[in-house]
Amino acid sequence: MIYAAPSLLPYYVEAHEYRPPQAFVDAVLIRVTAFWDTIERSDTSAVLDGSRS
């Protein structure tokens, strides 16, 4: 399943105490975790100094 969210979702969560469905929250957390796992495994020093093409 693919989810989409309006750009104002963080506003609705904070200002109006909106809580997205748990399935949406779980899907977002899986993607965020996978993203950070990828970053941690990459050679960030090469990316930061521009030596990586």
* All structural domains of the chain with their residue ranges: 1-40
**pTM for this predicted structure:** 0.54
Model confidence over 20-41: pLDDT tens digits? 999 988 988 888 887 777 777 6
The reported pLDDT for the residue numbered 33 is 83
The pair of three-digit structure tokens given for residue 46, joined into one six-digit string: 């090469």
Q: Which residue has the tokens 């969210």?
A: 5
Which run of H or of E encompasses 3? none
> DSSP letter string over the chain?
------TTHHHHHHHH-----HHHHHHHHHHHHHHHHHHHHS-HHHHHHT---
Model confidence over 1-12: pLDDT tens digits? 777 888 899 999
Give me the chain's average pLDDT, please: 79
pLDDT at 49 over 70: no
Tell which wins on pLDDT, 32 or 18. Answer: 18
